Amino acid sequence: MAEKAESRAVELDIRGKKRMYDIDDPKLPDWIEEKAFGSGDYPCDKKLDSKEYEKTLKLLQIELVKVQFWQQKTGTRIMSVFEGRDAAGKGGAIHATMAYMNPRSARTVALTKPTETERGQWYFQRYVSTFPTAGEFVLFDRSWYNRAGVEPVMGFCKPEEYEKFLKETPRFEKMITSEGIHLFKFWLNIGREMQLKRFHDRRHDPLKIWKLSPMDIAALNKWDDYTQKRDRMLKETHTDHAPWTVIRANDKRRARINLIRHILKTLDYEGKDTQAIGEIDDKIVGAGPGFVK
C-alpha cells in the first residue's frame, strides 16, 4: 500500500494573526482570495483593462524596437536587473520587454547556482562575463543581488560575505556606469497574500508548476526576514549612479507597462515618440527605500 504523502501545510503569521496554508489544497483559502490584490498597500482596486493593456504594450514594444536600432547604430550598451520576491513577476516583465526585440542583440541572463570553480572566484566574476558588448541589451532574471536576499536568509553565505557585498556593490556598479553602460535596477514588490496566491496558482497549473521550487516552500515562513534584507539592500545600494526603481507589481499589467516606460523615458534614442510612451504612474513606480512597506 502506497504511503500517504507528507502534508506541506504550514502555520503562517500574517500581521499577528495565525493562518493555515496548504499549498497542495486545490481550493485557495478565502482569506487569501479576498486580500491578495490589495495586499502590501496596493493602490488600485482592480487590474488594468486587458484591451487597454494590449494596446499600450504594443506602442511601448514598438519603441523598444527603435531602441535596438539606436543601439546598433551607436554601440550603446544596456543592462537591466530584475529583482523581487519569488512570484513577483520578474519573468513576465522580462518577456514583455523582449517579446519583439531582435534576439541577436537582446538576451536574458538567468544563472543557476555557482559551480565549484565559480565559488572560488571573485563573487561578481561570473556576472561580469555575461555583460553586454556594443549594441547589446541584457536583462538579468535575478543577479548579483542574490547575495543581498536569498543567500543570507537561507544561510547560503556567511555573515561577513553579506556585509562585504553591501559595501562593495556601490563601487562595483560605479565601475559599470563609468564604463558608459546604462544600468537599470528594478525591484518588483508584491504583498504577502498576492505571493501566496501566485504560489497556489503555480502549484495547480500544469503549465506553471515548474516555477514552484522547494526553495519557495522553504521560504514560506521567512517573509519578515526577506523584508528586512530587502529594506537594507535598498538603503545600502540605492545610489545616484545606480538607483533602484521600485515597481508595485500586484497587477502584472500595470507593472510591465510602467517598467518599460521608465526604461524608454530614461534613454535618449533616435525617433523617440513621447506621446506613445505616455506618463509613468507614480502610484506604481517609486525610487529606492521608503516607497514600499
- Cell numbers for 226, please give them: 526577506
- Output the DSSP codes for 65-118: HHHHHHHHHH---EEEEEEESTTSSHHHHHHHHHTTS-TTTEEEE---SPPHHH
Question: What is the pLDDT at residue 7?
Answer: 65
Split at pLDDT 50, 70, 90, the class of 6 is: low
Please state which of the ranges 195-204, 240-249, 263-272, 284-293 shows the lowest mean pLDDT. 284-293
Which superfamily does CATH assign the domain made up of 10-287 to? P-loop containing nucleotide triphosphate hydrolases (3.40.50.300)
Question: What is the pLDDT at residue 4?
Answer: 45
CA separation, residue 30 to residues 20, 129, 134, 251 (Å): 12, 47, 51, 19
> Kindly report the CA angle at 19 between 29 and 6, in degrees rounded to 5?
80
pLDDT in tens, 109-121: 999 999 999 999 9
Higher pLDDT, 65 or 2: 65
Report the alpha-carbon distance of residue 3 to residue 263 in Å, rounded: 52
Q: Could you tell me which residues come within 8 angstroms of residue 219 by beta carbon, excluding any fewer than 6 positions away?
A: 86, 150, 153, 154, 226
Q: Could you tell me which residues come within 8 angstroms of residue 97 by beta carbon, excluding any fewer than 6 positions away?
A: 64, 80, 139, 256, 259, 260, 263
With beta carbons less than 8 A apart as the criterion, state whether 31 and 19 touch.
Answer: yes
Of 64, 109, 92, give the one whose Cα is nearest residue 256: 92
pLDDT in tens, 208-220: 999 999 889 888 9
- Whether 48 shows a pLDDT value over 90: the answer reads yes
pLDDT in tens, 109-153: 999 999 999 999 999 999 999 999 999 999 999 999 999 999 999
Domain extents for the chain? 10-287
- Whether 2 shows a pLDDT value over 60: the answer reads no
Of 33, 43, 41, give the one whose Cα is nearest residue 197: 33
% of the chain with per-residue pLDDT over 90: 93
Question: What is the pLDDT at residue 1?
Answer: 38
- Whether 53 shows a pLDDT value over 80: the answer reads yes
Widest Cα–Cα separation across the chain: 69
Q: What is the mean pLDDT of residues 239-257?
A: 98
CA separation, residue 194 to residues 27, 33, 39, 173 (Å): 15, 8, 6, 32
Q: What is the mean pLDDT of residues 8-13?
A: 90
Half-sphere exposure of 34 (CA within 13 A, CB side): 3
Q: What is the mean pLDDT of residues 234-257?
A: 98
Of 80, 115, 112, give the one whose Cα is nearest residue 96: 80
pLDDT in tens, 89-103: 999 999 999 999 999
- Secondary structure of residue 189 in the 3-state scheme: strand
Task: Kindly report the average pLDDT of the chain as a whole number.
Answer: 95
- Cell numbers for 190, please give them: 508584491
Q: What is the mean pLDDT of residues 224-235?
A: 97
- Whether 55 shows a pLDDT value over 90: the answer reads yes
